[in-house]
Amino acid sequence: MSHVSVNLHLLVKPEVRGIRGNGPGSPRPPSASVRNAEPAREAKKTLEIYSVELSGTKDIAQTDKADGKEKYRGLKNRFEPRKNHQKEELKKELDLDDHKLSIKELEEKYSTNIITGLSSTQAAALLAQNGPNALTPPKETPEIIKFLKQMVGGFSILLWVGAILCWIAYGIQYSMNKSSSLDNVYLGCVLALVVILTGVFAYYQEAKSTNIMATFNKMIPQQALVIRDSEKKTVPAEQLVVGDIVEIKGGDRIPADIRLLSVQGCKVDNSSLTGESEPQARSSEFTHDNALETKNIGFYSTTCLEGTASGMVINTGDRTVIGQIASLASGVGDEKTPIAIEIEHFVHIVGGVAISIGILFFIIAVSLKYHVLDSIIFLIGIIVANVPEGLLATVTVTLSLTAKRMAKKNCLVKNLEAVETLGSTSIICSDKTGTLTQNRMTVAHLWFDNQIFIADTSEDHSNQVFDQSSGTWASLSKIITLCNRAEFRPGQENVPIMKRVVVGDASETALLKFSEVILGDVMEIRKRNHKVAEIPFNSTNKFQLSIHKTDDPNDKRFLMVMKGAPERILEKCSTIMVNGQEQPLDESTAEAFHTAYMELGGLGERVLGFCHLYLPADEFPESYSFDVDAMNFPTSNLCFVGLLSMIDPPRSTVPDAVTKCRSAGIKVIMVTGDHPITAKAIAKSVGIISANSETVEDIAKRLHIAVEQVNKREAKAAVVTGTELKDMSPEQLDELLTNYSEIVFARTSPQQKLIIVEGCQRQNAVVAVTGDGVNDSPALKKADIGIAMGIAGSDAAKNAADMVLLDDNFASIVTGVEEGRLIFDNLKKTIAYTLTKNIAELCPFLIYIIVGLPLPIGTITILFIDLGTDIIPSIALAYEKAESDIMNRKPRHKKKDRLVNQQLAIYSYLHIGLMQAVGAFVVYLTVYAQEGFTPGILTNLRVAWENGNVNDLEDSYGQQWTWYQRKYLEWTGYTAFFVGIMVQQIADLLIRKTRRNSIFRQGLFRNKVIWLGIASQIIIALILSYGLGSVTALNFTMLRPQYWFVAVPYAILIWVYDEVRKLFIRLYPGSWWDKNMYY
């Protein structure tokens, strides 16, 4: 693990590139923090810093060099100090030095030749040595293991133990009496069957969602064009070896990590690595110390979008960057889901109860002079009777129902148990790009006429309300339209503008779409204003220029339009257009420009300046031939028209979703690879940093004091960069996480994402991580619930995640939280409902042992309750609506708010359960008494009752009963007891609808499924008694109709009792009663 960690910290700030990439871009203006002091000078100063992104990455390399290789070393090292660490680290970093080497050195290093390539023999040897160029697939659990896992988890174990105990009991019985009843065998089989069927069901459910995801293999390129033995050959990509010279072209997936040797207009999409889908230019020059930042490396599994390139393979298979991330992800253990922990806890409780009661009664039975073997059978019987046979199936079905509901709302759950996890989530670590934002550049603000205008950045752009009447806008719009090389791919006339595919980079695309929305057919406008010359953007000029004939037939002048880095544009201007009129550019207007520029920059936006010039017709007649190399036209004294800023805007649903998370007590932390300013701006606009909270830096600036002097307690928000994070000890990180409610992590590496997740988990938080890139996959895996983006997400991310948002919409998480919390509450109700009757089913057996009554209810009958009448009602509880606004309460505490707590167990077992048992006993005793056996005579009747040779057993009236007549009466007793429980379970079901509110407030009829459940209960009972009453094997008899109503008063009593309980809980919150009776 350690060596991987070392390596991965190299994946630095991938997002930086995404946003600020290669567009005709703009320097990021000074950060807001320096805004107040001497704008012009400050601007210049900061411009130097921010211009790095424009001029390639050379400058950044310089700034980065300062802290050198240390810079992105993960915190991880601190956690696992190792002696040989340093060495390994060194080794790894050497491996990634290839981008710094010259071609000669490379040739030497890999003993290859860039003209002739490797020889076949060399290649074969290397292949044998290093293995094929393919990712070792994540240790795929064989299907059969997955299947078996479903059969042994949590609950299932309980059932298996029950089944085995049943068979053991039968074995004992059989050894004593060859003709003993087969009930125990049946019971064991039924238990086993329940586990198997439920396992099959759960397996099927998960397989279904896994299949949707099974696309990982698509990442591997099939063929590669390679030069070997001086010949170009097409070989399977798997056979590539280090030193091979490969050629790639637009549309190819890059077959290995390659050092680019020659490049023609090549752009790559590194989204599978970084999650950022903005195309990035490649070149053969070494531009950055960091292998991930430098332009002369192409990474395995990324896509070449356009152009061609040739390169030398420097890493293959698992040694590629992506391979290392993949192995890091697979090295992170899967966390147990909270619900799995809860179920385990529940199993402990049930197991503890079962074994304690069992042993206690074993002792009692022995002291009552029962045969030891009989006592053992009692012991087993009691343990098995405690097993809630139906619960496994119920829970599984309930979870998958919720999973289905969530899938409808675009949350695809891969692991059934993860359904609940979101509900317990207390911290969401969200990636920025693509999750919180739309992942596309969009025009956000305009500045002209000394005024900032806000553009609509919503997903459809439909509502552009800024003032378009000014003459300046007319000019500006013309520049935007004309000075732009981006074009719509043809044949998309019917596609909404915002969804059309554009050929061109992100900024130009944004401008194209912006103008298309406002002005209509841009291509037509361009056609009318014929382009006669053009200088495309390059990083030296930092501007883009084109010269057009105008569409005004009366105006023979050429129009020169220009856009670029605002300060560069301003330098070239001598006038500025205000309200459509050209005015000289004086100090005050320049200052206004800077203020606007910085304000927009402070919003984390990319700013472009626009200017134009009508070339005088006399100097530039219609026939004038423009030479872009000689620049035979003026590029100064232009007319400045306006600024336009762009940002990857937040999705419109996100702010609302963040607010909801907030009110639900969930901390939303942004973890991004992007620049702190952009990150903070987005965080502010989506509410991750709320409007009125400040960071330490903000306070310092407001009070004009040094950052160190600020009382840290005053700041609610914090923006932490990867560099700062690197210097933090785990304790400091803990402190940070506890003290600040609003945190943004910027410029983080995948390794650091992992550290942040671990830090959150140390706070006992249940952590959800959202992400889309391969770089997110380790954190996704580490999180309690990893949430991948379905559309933008890379396959690796989807693989590592537990849940996939099919619409990439952060707001879907809120739905997930809501559903998760609801299912937790409802599972509680389901379990309470199920546990209650356990006592009613167990008491008869205990009484039978102690008092010697004829057995009140038989095993098979119990099964018909657990797996028959009770199943649908307990599932129906899953449809129950929330009692109060579950989104207004804090997430549950992992260790305090258990699914099954003592209150629940006590209330179910000792209160309602006992009442139920009493009610059912009354039905049973009524039946016996009316048939002739009054309760008095039943006592200690067991032995004679069960003796098949006693065929003249006297009842209370002196009547004599044959054995079979008694048996039949016993079955009638079973049926009566069954009906008694069933009737009271109806009441139990109704009271479980709520835990605190009155049922009437919840509404008796809002959950229709409950009534379906009740109907099913009654119908099943009627069928069992009247339909199958003649099938002796089932031990049911036709019960006289009046017995169905004997337990009704008890059902009402249960209802009343529970209403009183809830009333007191509501009346005296926090009281003894509340603490002890609220589950």
Partner 1 sequence: DDQDEVNQNYLADEEEEAEEEARGMVVPDLEEEEEEEEGQEAEEEEIEEEKEEEEGQGPPTGNAWWQKLQTVSEYLWDPEKRMSLARTGQSWSLILVIYFFFYASLAAVITLCMYTLFLTISPYMPTFTERVKPPGVMIRPFAHSLNFNFNVSEPDTWQHYVISLNGFLQGYNDSLQEEMNVDCPPGQYFIQDGNEDEDKKACQFKRSFLKNCSGLEDPTFGYSTGQPCILLKMNRIVGFRPELGDPVKVSCKVQRGDENDIRSINYYPESASFDLRYYPYYGKLTHVNYTSPLVAMHFTDVVKNQAVPVQCQLKGKGIINDVINDRFVGRVIFTLNIET
Long-range contacts of 376-382 (CB under 8 A, 24+ apart): 376/169, 376/172, 377/169, 377/172, 377/173, 378/845, 378/849, 380/165, 380/166, 380/168, 380/169, 381/169, 381/845, 382/354, 382/357, 382/358, 382/842, 382/845, 382/846
Q: Using CA atoms, how far apart are residues 857 and 252, in angstroms rounded to an integer?
A: 71
Shortest Cβ distance from residue 956 to partner 1 (Å)? 8
Shortest Cβ distance from residue 670 to partner 1 (Å)? 27
Is residue 757 part of the contact set for partner 1 (CB under 8 A)?
Answer: no
Segment interacting with partner 1, rule: CB under 8 A, options 85-93, 407-415, 959-967, 994-1002: 959-967
Pick from 930, 998, 1030, 1071 the residue near partner 1 by CB under 8 A.
Answer: 930
Phi, psi of 221, rounded to the nearest 5 degrees: -70, 150
Tokens of 564: 């670029």
Q: Using CA atoms, how far apart are residues 909 and 363, in angstroms rounded to an integer?
A: 22
228/1062 with CB nearer partner 1: 1062
Shortest Cβ distance from residue 841 to partner 1 (Å)? 13
Shortest Cβ distance from residue 158 to partner 1 (Å)? 15
**CA angle 169-172-173, nearest 5°?**
85
SS3 716: coil
Is residue 1044 part of the contact set for partner 1 (CB under 8 A)?
Answer: no
Segment 846-875, which members bind partner 1 (CB under 8 A)? Answer: 846, 850
Long-range contacts of 498-503 (CB under 8 A, 24+ apart): 498/459, 498/460, 498/461
What residues have CB less than 8 Å from 566, skipping those under 6 apart?
26, 27, 29, 593, 597, 607, 608, 609, 643
43/846 with CB nearer partner 1: 846
Please give the size of the binding site for partner 1, defined by CB under 8 A: 63
Shortest Cβ distance from residue 960 to partner 1 (Å)? 4
Tokens of 956: 């209370």
Q: Which residue has the tokens 């049943």?
A: 166
Shortest Cβ distance from residue 718 to partner 1 (Å)? 25
850/1015 with CB nearer partner 1: 850
Is residue 944 part of the contact set for partner 1 (CB under 8 A)?
Answer: no
Q: Using CA atoms, how far apart are residues 557 and 627, in angstroms rounded to an integer?
A: 17
Is residue 935 part of the contact set for partner 1 (CB under 8 A)?
Answer: yes
Segment interacting with partner 1, rule: CB under 8 A, options 93-101, 425-433, 639-647, 919-927: 919-927
45/348 with CB nearer partner 1: 348
SS3 302: coil
- Beta pairing, strands 257-269 & 297-298: antiparallel
141/356 with CB nearer partner 1: 356
- Beta pairing, strands 223-228 & 280-281: unpaired
Would you say 831 and 905 are in contact if contact means Cβ atoms under 8 Å apart? no
SS3 456: coil
Pick from 2, 113, 458, 965 the residue near partner 1 by CB under 8 A.
Answer: 965
Q: Using CA atoms, how far apart are residues 758 and 734, in angstroms rounded to an integer?
A: 10
Segment interacting with partner 1, rule: CB under 8 A, options 166-174, 420-428, 865-873, 929-937: 929-937
Active-site pick, 431, 698, 802, 955: 431
Is residue 79 part of the contact set for partner 1 (CB under 8 A)?
Answer: no
The secondary structure of residue 552, as a DSSP letter, is -
Q: Is 8 exposed, middle or buried (0-12, 13-18, 19+ CB in 10 A)?
A: buried
Pick from 870, 931, 988, 1058 the residue near partner 1 by CB under 8 A.
Answer: 931
Concatenate the DSSP letters of all residues of 995-1043 into one string.
SSS-HHHH-TTS-HHHHHHHHHHHHHHHIIIIISTT-GGGT--PPPGGG
Pick from 533, 922, 999, 1018 the residue near partner 1 by CB under 8 A.
Answer: 922
Shortest Cβ distance from residue 985 to partner 1 (Å)? 18
Torsional class of 472: left (φ above 0), alpha (ψ -120 to 50), beta (otherwise): alpha
Is residue 378 part of the contact set for partner 1 (CB under 8 A)?
Answer: no
Would you say 810 and 435 are in contact if contact means Cβ atoms under 8 Å apart? yes
Is residue 731 part of the contact set for partner 1 (CB under 8 A)?
Answer: no
What residues have CB less than 8 Å from 728, skipping those under 6 apart?
75, 736
130/761 with CB nearer partner 1: 761
Q: What is the CA radius of gyration of the chain?
A: 37
CA 45 to chain centre: 41
Would you say 453 and 487 are in contact if contact means Cβ atoms under 8 Å apart? no
Pick from 909, 1026, 1055, 1064 the residue near partner 1 by CB under 8 A.
Answer: 909
Shortest Cβ distance from residue 193 to partner 1 (Å)? 28
Q: Is 66 exposed, middle or buried (0-12, 13-18, 19+ CB in 10 A)?
A: exposed
Is residue 983 part of the contact set for partner 1 (CB under 8 A)?
Answer: no
Question: Mask of contacts with partner 1, 788-827, x by CB under 8 A?
Answer: ----------------------------------------
Is residue 360 part of the contact set for partner 1 (CB under 8 A)?
Answer: yes
Active site annotation includes 431: yes
Is residue 954 part of the contact set for partner 1 (CB under 8 A)?
Answer: yes
Is residue 493 part of the contact set for partner 1 (CB under 8 A)?
Answer: no
Segment 326-355, which members bind partner 1 (CB under 8 A)? Answer: 348-349, 352-355
36/356 with CB nearer partner 1: 356
Pick from 957, 998, 1060, 1068 the residue near partner 1 by CB under 8 A.
Answer: 957
Is residue 78 part of the contact set for partner 1 (CB under 8 A)?
Answer: no
Pick from 939, 951, 1030, 1071 the residue near partner 1 by CB under 8 A.
Answer: 951
Report the sign of the C-alpha dihedral through residues 98, 103, 106, 110, in that order.
positive
Q: Is 274 exposed, middle or buried (0-12, 13-18, 19+ CB in 10 A)?
A: buried
Q: Using CA atoms, how far apart are residues 474 and 468, in angstroms rounded to an integer?
A: 8
Is residue 903 part of the contact set for partner 1 (CB under 8 A)?
Answer: yes
Shortest Cβ distance from residue 150 to partner 1 (Å)? 25
Task: Give kind and range of the element (H or E) at residue 476.
Answer: helix 471-482
Is residue 911 part of the contact set for partner 1 (CB under 8 A)?
Answer: yes
Segment interacting with partner 1, rule: CB under 8 A, options 314-322, 605-613, 717-725, 968-976: 968-976
Segment interacting with partner 1, rule: CB under 8 A, options 521-529, 622-630, 639-647, 954-962: 954-962
Largest CA distance in the chain: 134
Shortest Cβ distance from residue 186 to partner 1 (Å)? 19
Is residue 959 part of the contact set for partner 1 (CB under 8 A)?
Answer: yes
Shortest Cβ distance from residue 335 to partner 1 (Å)? 13
Pick from 5, 421, 926, 1007 the residue near partner 1 by CB under 8 A.
Answer: 926
405/762 with CB nearer partner 1: 762
Shortest Cβ distance from residue 838 to partner 1 (Å)? 12
Segment interacting with partner 1, rule: CB under 8 A, options 86-94, 404-412, 495-503, 925-933: 925-933
Q: Is 965 exposed, middle or buried (0-12, 13-18, 19+ CB in 10 A)?
A: middle
Segment interacting with partner 1, rule: CB under 8 A, options 170-178, 298-306, 596-604, 842-850: 842-850
Is residue 972 part of the contact set for partner 1 (CB under 8 A)?
Answer: yes
**CA angle 765-769-773, nearest 5°?**
160
Looking at 57-119, list the stretches that DSSP marks H as alpha helix, in order from N- to C-terminal side: 58-67, 76-79, 85-95, 103-109
Q: Which residues are catalytic?
A: 431
Give the binding site for partner 1 (CB under 8 A): 348-349, 352-357, 359-361, 364, 762, 843, 846, 850, 895-896, 901-903, 905-906, 909-911, 914-915, 918, 921-922, 925-926, 929-932, 934-935, 949, 951-952, 954-965, 968-969, 972, 1032, 1040, 1053, 1072, 1075-1076
